[in-house]
Amino acid sequence: MCGITGYLGYRSAIQISIANLKRLEYRGYDSAGLAYMYNGKLQVLKAEGRIANLEQLTQQPPQEVGMAIAHTRWATHGPPCTANSHPHADCSGDIAVVHNGIIENYALLQTRLTEAGHTFQSETDTETIAHLIEEAMSLMPDADFAEQVRTALKHIEGSYAIAVLCKKYPDTIFVARQDSPLIIGHGEQETLIASDIPAVMQYTRRVTVLQDGDCAIITPQSVVITNHAGEIQNRTAMYVDWDDQSAEKGGFEHFMLKEIHEGPRTMRDTLRGRMSEAGTISLPDLPLTNAQWASYRNVTIIGCGTAYHAGFAARRMLEQLLQRQVDVQVASEFRYSSPILNQESLVILISQSGETADTLAAMRLAKQKGAATLGVVNVVGSSLAREADMRLITQAGPEIGVASTKAYLAQVAALQLLGLHMAASAHAPTAMLQQQMSSALPMLPALLERCLTLEPQVKELAAHLAHCSCFFFLGRGYDYATALEAALKLKEISYIHAEAYPAGEMKHGPLALVEPGVATVGLCTQKNLRDKMISNLKEVKARGGTVLVLQRETDVQPDCADYLLTLPDAPDFLMPIIAMLPLQLLAYHVALQRGCAIDQPRNLAKSVTVE
């Protein structure tokens, strides 16, 4: 996954494809590659690291090359290295594919294709596409290129945006999209392709956004878009009038907002291929036997900041699923403690970047003590992903905003998957809960879509609350974990003092701070704790505080609420994910009202690689 570019026209395709890749550089990547036709042969160049390394391989690009495809990779399957970077080729080296997305059934396909005599050069899911096309071409030699590729794609389950070159069709690029963005830019006698609009804006502002199920054959003469059955699809090109800066952010004002809006898609990617329709969890990256899973008598979750909160949000659910005590610790404290760990301990380390110094130190200490370590991590090639005994990739894609948003949602969902997997493998006596959770988790993407529709309302709330001098976020049970993360989000980007409390603690001190001008966000999403929450919020209201209540759409409005935000109804254990998205939006819009530097909050860095 990361960036795709391509060019077909009268200018140097190599230079333009590379230049356009650079326009997607802000998304982060670990390697880059390029394919083009030259002297009747398909050429593939790849380099680990910066695009400049790839550029060096094309010091004097042949000017007469008028067609190329290129890619920046952000590893999802297989570590970052030259062999795993795109384009990937078939056995003959005549077909080259670049791909964004995840092929869910790649392991099965790889086994079948290997048995049929294909040889794989990489550890990626993408390479299966090149071999499937090769297979389709040999099985249906009389079909045209588009039909051959469409036939190959029928075997694929998962998401993809692909671009394909083939030696046999030297003036054609095939592209297709399913659940991963891909656009076609229409210039004067030239056509560009890209995974994102900013990549082509220097050359054209006339753009067709492909829809799921679209395939297209691009030649110097035409662009023909069809569905998988080969039926022509009429798509209208749009005119893009964004400036360069907002283009990078997909038209959003900030990366943070873009990433909040990526929440539903993130959730699809995190769950993709890991749950069967029957609710069985499959995490092939965690190759333990049932006996090994059952042998872990104690579980500790460790992280920093948002990642720590994700652990906190998942803790109760893990305890209930596993019927074991689960400890959650801040990495910077854990690393200087004398933890009681042994071979019956499992230590789960959560990190978006996989490079947080304290989290890495905690992992090394846990290993020293004989515990098994499992990284729940977003960046595949990171230190945590490499050094932990096992890894579960959260699949949130690159996160650029310093304030973590989509990564948090992915972390909590990944921990829920992990909990289900562990409970089933260890034969925990919680079959009913496991069943209930497995049937609820697939609803998350759609529920998050609904949360996004709350944005106009959240924006209005932010206008009312942005002047408040101090915020309390109160919750009980799962809602307390959400409160912790919501307070962090608000403080880090709006610079308003914000504190989270378990609601029952207010009377033990913090209530003294409540006065007019102090806002309290009361999370009331937990069915059995709602009445207690309302009583606590009444106490806040009675002291002149402003109260915003978040509750399910099925609940009646409590009279202590000055403002109300109603959330889609779902089981309690999903509410930490569902309630978080509107609270991320709230933090964003409050910060916007206050004119703060949202994507680069003062004093903070995206990745804290020093102690």
The footprint of ligand AGP (CB under 6 A) covers 304-307, 351-353, 356, 359, 402-404, 492, 607-608
Contacts of 583 (CB under 8 A, 6+ apart): 473, 482, 485, 486, 489, 521, 550
> d(Cα 70, Cα 14) in Å, to the nearest integer?
8
Q: Which residue has the tokens 């071999």?
A: 131
Report which of 344, 361, 350 is spatially closest to residue 328, judged by C-alpha positions.
350
Given 2, 451, 468, 560, the catalytic residue: 2
Spatial contact of 478 and 500, defined as CB atoms under 8 Å apart: no
Q: How many CA atoms lie within 13 A of 148 on its CB side?
A: 23
The gap between the terminal CA atoms of the chain, to the nearest Å, is 31
Smallest distance, ligand AGP to C-beta of residue 405, A: 8
Q: How many CB atoms lie within 10 A of CB 438?
A: 19
Query: Closest-CB residue for ligand AGP?
Result: 305
- CB-nearer residue toward ligand AGP: 200 or 330: 330
- CB-nearer residue toward ligand AGP: 307 or 321: 307
Tokens of 272: 């993709």
Smallest distance, ligand AGP to C-beta of residue 487, A: 11
Identify the bridge partners of residue 403 per DSSP, sorted by sequence position.
none
Residue 66 CA: distances (Å) to CA of 95, 192, 506? 17, 11, 68
- CB-nearer residue toward ligand AGP: 433 or 488: 488
- CB-nearer residue toward ligand AGP: 76 or 430: 76
Smallest distance, ligand AGP to C-beta of residue 270, A: 15
How big is the chain by its Cα radius of gyration, in Å?
25
The alpha carbon torsion through 532, 538, 541, 545 (nearest 10 deg) reads -10
Per the annotation, the verdict on 606 as an active-site residue is: yes
**Omega before 87 within 30 of 0, i.e. cis:** yes
- CB-nearer residue toward ligand AGP: 512 or 610: 610
> d(Cα 110, Cα 133) in Å, to the nearest integer?
13
Give the SS3 label for residue 520. Answer: strand
> d(Cα 114, Cα 122) in Å, to the nearest integer?
13
- CB-nearer residue toward ligand AGP: 201 or 417: 417
Q: In which element (H, E) is residue 89 found?
A: strand 88-89
Across 133-150, b (16+ Cβ under 10 Å) vs e yields bbbbbeeeeeeebbebbb
Tokens of 435: 């069943």
Q: How many CB atoms lie within 10 A of CB 379?
A: 25
Smallest distance, ligand AGP to C-beta of residue 80, A: 17
Smallest distance, ligand AGP to C-beta of residue 420, A: 22
Smallest distance, ligand AGP to C-beta of residue 312, A: 12
Smallest distance, ligand AGP to C-beta of residue 346, A: 19
> d(Cα 390, Cα 394) in Å, to the nearest integer?
13
Smallest distance, ligand AGP to C-beta of residue 401, A: 8
DSSP line for 206-262: EEEE--TT-EEEE-SS-EEEE-TT--B-----EE----HHHHHTTT-SSHHHHHHHT
Report which of 214, 219, 183 is spatially closest to residue 201, judged by C-alpha positions.
183
Find the angle CA(79)-CA(194)-CA(585) to the nearest 5 degrees.
Answer: 80
Spatial contact of 222 and 179, defined as CB atoms under 8 Å apart: no
Tokens of 600: 């680069």
- CB-nearer residue toward ligand AGP: 314 or 403: 403
Smallest distance, ligand AGP to C-beta of residue 210, A: 33
- CB-nearer residue toward ligand AGP: 95 or 377: 377
- CB-nearer residue toward ligand AGP: 487 or 549: 487
- CB-nearer residue toward ligand AGP: 1 or 407: 407
> d(Cα 447, Cα 443) in Å, to the nearest integer?
6
Per the annotation, the verdict on 538 as an active-site residue is: no
Smallest distance, ligand AGP to C-beta of residue 142, A: 53
> d(Cα 363, Cα 349) in Å, to the nearest integer?
7
> d(Cα 224, Cα 232) in Å, to the nearest integer?
7
Given 367, 491, 527, 606, the catalytic residue: 606
Smallest distance, ligand AGP to C-beta of residue 600, A: 12
- CB-nearer residue toward ligand AGP: 352 or 482: 352
Kindly list the catalytic residues. 2, 606
